[in-house]
Amino acid sequence: MIRDFEYLSPKTLEEALAFLSQYQDECKIIAGGQSLLILMRQGLIAPEYLVDIKGITELNYVQAEAKAGLRIGALTPHRAIEKSPLMKNSFSVLAEMEHRLASIQTRNWGTIGGNLCHADPAGDPTSVLMALNATVTTASVKGKRTMAVEDFCKDYFETALQHDELLVEIQVPPAPPHTGAAYTKFNIIETDMAMVAVAVSITLGTSKDVCQDARIVLGACASTQLRAKKAEEVLRGKKITAGLLKEAGQVASQEADPISDVTASEEYRRELVKVLVPRVGQKALDRARQA
């Protein structure tokens, strides 16, 4: 049962930040609400104040600039990102990820910022944004700060946000030349969360032969989305082959720290990593060669 709370509905970012500064750990932010309302019904969260920021239109946008890359407001719905014409070419992996995120009803109402702030290690956007080397900007009445998405998620359902801070924007830098990225997740029901998710970004040298850089990110394999840095080193500086991708998958499965739960065992998740890393890596490689 949801306990009584005071409902606040700011219409500007300045007003929302003032509420956060005033109430801090006594309040919770609600945007789409798909995750928060479940926790409130379960009695796991019982805020004194609920700050509904859905009406802050200044945080709902998708913009692209040649030098700055992609900028996404924290209150942009998943469906808007999925359907944005700006998602073509180097950002197409974001649209592909969004297309597989939950149901179309959820994508129409849920926001990318809400998903990131919920910090579920099985959440889709975080893995892809980490693979794309994205950053986030947070704001409070004291000012703004920017950090890598990789540093934003700290633990299960825990982020680097302070009590008086709000996530306001996600930035995705332009992809280096000859870069390709891909993402997939394994689930039994299409709209379910991932048992295991994998995002891979590969940058080739000018000859499109040798791997200059690689980023391999695992979802639902630890307390947060995990960079498989040892697996990345398997690829860097080498000509990528099917055998090398398989080796990277083996190494990534050892770096993973999955749990056993009602959806899958630890061993099963490790096997999925072994299969998915080469598969997604090959797709990212093919795109890098075409870029």
- Here the tokens at position 199 are 């995002």
Task: Answer whether residue 1 is part of any domain.
Answer: no
Quote the pLDDT of residue 241.
97
Distance CA 162, CA 177 (A): 36
How many structural domains comprise the chain? 3
Q: Is 233 part of a structural domain of the chain?
A: yes
CB-count burial class (<10 Å; 0-12, 13-18, 19+) for 242: exposed
Distance CA 118, CA 116 (A): 5
Do residues 30 and 79 both lie within one domain? no
**Whether the predicted pLDDT of 144 surpasses 90:** yes
Give per-residue pLDDT as tens, 192-216: 999 999 999 999 999 899 999 999 9
Helix (H, G, I), strand (E, B) or coil at 159: strand
Encode pLDDT of 155-196 as tens digits.
Answer: 999 999 999 999 999 999 999 999 999 999 999 998 899 999
Residue pair 243/215 in contact (Cβ under 8 Å)? The answer is no
Whole-model pTM? Answer: 0.97
Give the separation between CA 195 and CA 35, rounded to whole angstroms: 18
How far is 255 from 196, CA to CA, in rounded Å? 14
CATH code of residue 84: 3.30.465.10
Has residue 123 got a pLDDT over 90?
A: yes
CATH number at residue 16: 3.30.43.10
Domain limits at 23? 6-51
pLDDT exceeds cutoff 90 at 90: no
Given 172, 195, 225, the domain boundary residue is 172
Q: Are residues 84 and 29 in the same domain?
A: no
Q: Give me the half-sphere count of Cα atoms (radius 13 Å) on the Cβ side of residue 201.
A: 24
